[in-house]
Every structure is written in structure tokens, then in C-alpha cells.
Structure 1
């Protein structure tokens, strides 16, 4: 068995062992209660592992830009989980500049080789490098995370309270026209990096936006005839090289 094959087998066994530990932690949660100290959801763990794999592969093949950028996204996830500091849109810009500077210092050409499959022309199906979605109790909270993905999602929750959407180098279409807001109000936390996001909301909703766009475009104007008592969607958006469009239907 050659060296490369031995390395592949070793990592394969490690990954399978990690998967078995995860399965056992779900079947016997009391026995694995110690892992709660890490304060990370399964989605955050998935993202950290995925980004760590991208980082390792990028540095191995001298893809300095992607390696540094993915490492920075790991720091972002951990900082959010432990509330270490507030990650703003300008931090994405700083991370981009650091990654680009590191690539130039390394003297390597910047190459990004990602295979995501074929996207269907009708836009109804997903083609993903990475995609995850979760819903909280009674569907009040919905979280969507995607990397290098094209996704279309229809939200029909009748007591929607919180939305978390994070997309990196992808397109996301989110339909909320059949949803209802819990107590007439909900919040959308949106992080978009090199992405395009289309939000479809009922024409009778008000939008209150707090956006930090960096080389991005985002507009959330309300029609003049909306009543103050109309359902309110609060949007907190951090955007880097992205476009967000709100459609009223």
C-alpha cells in the first residue's frame, strides 16, 4: 500500500469514527452530555468541519486565498457561538484583503476549482456543494446555511419568529408570501458573501432594515400606504459583494 493510499485509509477511518460518535451521542444523549460545553449546534459543527476541510485542502495545494478566507469564516462561527465579538460586514472586507494579500505574498496565482454540478434551468431543484436547513420548535425559527449552492425555499410557517440565512458564493430565493409572523413581527439575520438573495414577502408587510453592505446592493423601501400596524419584518444584514432584492407579491 503506497503512502497516499495509507493516508486516505487513515482519514477515512477517522471520519467514520467521528460519524459513529455523533450517532451514539444522539442515541444516548445523557452519556455524551459533556459535549454541551462546546455551545455549538450541529449546523455550526458541520460548517466548521466543512470549512476546516476546505482550509486544509487549499493550503495543501497552495490555494492561500481560499485557505485564509475559510479560516476566517471558522473564526466567525466560533465567535458567534460564544458571543466573543460582533462580526460586522467590514470584517468580511478585512478578511478578503488579508486573504488576497497573503495570496500575493505567497507568489501564487489565485485559483478556485469547485465542482457544484449542473444547475437546472427551471430553478426548482438544488445543486449544492454544501447546504443545511433546520427548523426550531413549532417552526418558529428557521435556519438556512449554504455554500456554493443554488437553493429555492418556500416558508409556510404560521408563527414565524426568527430566520437565520447564511450564504457564501451562491444564490438563494426565499418565499415568505405564505407565512405569517408570530405576534405580527419577525427578525431575519442575513449574512451573504459573493451571493445573490431574493426575498419574496407579502405586499402588506413592513420592512425595517439595518444593513452593513460592503460593495453590495440592498434596498428595503416600504410603500407609502402601509399602516403602522402592518406585520413587521426586521432585517439585520451583513453583505459582502452581494445583492439582495425584496419582491412584494
Structure 2
């Protein structure tokens, strides 16, 4: 079982496991009091689950600010429903300062890993772009991450071997039309959650895609006329509520 299939199976089991106690709490309200323990309504349960998803994906992508902030909102929702303590405006301010402080404290170690970092420029329409990138030796490995921001990236590596893209709730556009694959072979690992990803590749490239879309769409069509020695880009895509399109230029 490949990586993407394992991920899809894992998330499928998790979602089913979450649904089972929800059903049991309605079928047997007198015996199954999991959510009554916190006095959570169905809307609050949905909100907590959504925040938990955001927190998990944020921590996975090292976006500590969003992860800690979402976790704090989970505590706030449960505390209000259970009357553990009163959540005031100062609590929001404290949560913001804690999340920002932790992100700044973690920033030093991240900069040591990402030696070549470019952040922010203006698009033609004036939109501010924000992204993070890490480039390996000789441009063979390129890593792009985007969390809650618009990302546009031009890759000009002449010996690209592996491209890793991780995005959460972001519109991402990647241009590979000026890229050369090392020995005519390259690998793209793509993880997208609630995102729209557009990737532009040269017309002569062949694409072999292995995707595990969960409520997502992946589009990559090979044109006719490709030969056995055409450059090959293998794609492993793990998608959740996302749309990915491979364009040829």
C-alpha cells in the first residue's frame, strides 16, 4: 500500500471513528454521555472538530501561531459550554500573545534549516504574496510551504530531482516551465488541505500521478506525441477538500 493510499485509509478510519460516538450519543442519550460531559451542542461539536483539524494541519506544517490559536479556541468553546471559567476579551489577547510568542521563539530554528528564504512580493494586481521556500544543494530539492496565504513560486532549477509542496487553506501557483529535471526524472510530493493548486509544466513532460483525493479533484492529462525518452514527473498527491490542476505551457 503506497503512502497516499495509507493516508486516505487512515483519515477514513478517523472520520468514521468520530462519527460513531456522535451516532451513539443520539441513539442512546441516557447511556452515552460523552458530549453531555462538556454540555456541547452539535454545532459546538462540529466547531471543535473543525478547529482540531486546523490545529493538527498547522502543527504539521510548523505554523505554530495558527496551531496554538486554534487549540486555544477549542479550550474556549469547551470552557464556555461547561462553565469552567469565564472567557473574556483579555483571554483572546493573551491567547494571541502566547501564539505569536511561540511562533517567534520557534522562528530561529526554522531559519537554520531554510538557508534560502524568500518572503513576500507584490503581484500584478497588488496582492501581497506570502510563502516559504527551502532549496537544497544545486537546486535538486525544492520545498514550498504555504499556510493561509497566497503563494506564487517560479522554480528555475536546472537539475530538479524532488519538489515538495505543502499547503493549508491557500491558493498556490507554481511555475515549472523554466525547470529542467535531473536526468529527465523528477518527483513531486504534494499535500494540500482546503487549497487550490495550479502547477505549470513544459508541454513535453510526461506525468505519472498517484493521488488520494478526499472530496478533492486532481487533473493532469498527458498529450499525445510523448516518447519514451520524454522527461517524466511522478506526482504523489494527498488531497483533502482541494483542487489541483496541472497546466502545460
Query: Which TM-score band (shorter chain)?
Result: 0.5 to 0.7
Contact 2:61 2:166 in 1 (8 A): no
> Number of matched residues?
151
Larger radius of gyration: 2
Match of 2:72 among 54, 57, 79: 57
3-state secondary structure, aligned to 2:213: strand
1:229 corresponding residue in structure 2: 229
Residue 186 of structure 1 aligns to a residue whose secondary structure is: strand
In 1, the alpha carbon distance for the partners of 2:178 and 2:128 equals: 21
Check whether the contact 2:165–2:191 (CA below 8 A) recurs between aligned residues: yes
Query: 1:179 aligns to what SS in structure 2?
Result: coil
Alignment partner, residue 239 of structure 1? 239
SS at match of 2:197: strand
Name the residue aligned to 2:141: 141
Partners in 1 of 2:187 and 2:138 — Cα distance?
16
Q: Superposition pairs for residues 159-174 of structure 1, below 5 Å?
A: 159-174=159-174
Residues of 1 paired with 2:221 and 2:200: CA distance?
A: 14
With the length of structure 1 as denominator, give the TM-score of the two structures.
0.55
* Cα separation, 1, equivalents of 2:204 and 2:193: 29
Secondary structure, counterpart of 1:61 in structure 2: helix
Gaps of 5+ in 2: 1-58, 80-120
- Over the residues paired in the alignment, what is the CA RMSD in angstroms? 2.7
CA displacement 1:157-202 (0-9 Å, x = unmatched): 0000001001111100000000000010010000111100000000
Aligned to 1:122: 124
2:152 alignment counterpart: 152
The answer for the alignment partner of 2:97 in structure 1 is none
Distance 2:212 2:192 in 1: 11
SS at match of 1:159: coil
User: Which runs of 5 or more residues in structure 1 are unaligned?
Assistant: 1-43, 65-118
Query: By how many angstroms is 1:224 displaced?
Result: 1.7
Q: Distance in 2 between matches of 1:227 and 1:197?
A: 27
The aligned runs of 1:164-243 (5 Å cut-off) are 164-243=164-243
What is the alpha-carbon distance in structure 2 between the residues aligned to residue 54 and residue 150 of structure 1?
A: 20
Give 3-state SS (helix, strand or coil) of 2:77's partner.
Answer: coil
Scaled by the length of structure 2, what TM-score is found? 0.55
* CA 46–228 in structure 1, closer or farther in 2 if over 3 Å, else same: closer
- In 2, Cα distance between equivalents of 1:46 and 1:211: 20
Deviation at 1:57, TM superposition (A): 2.6
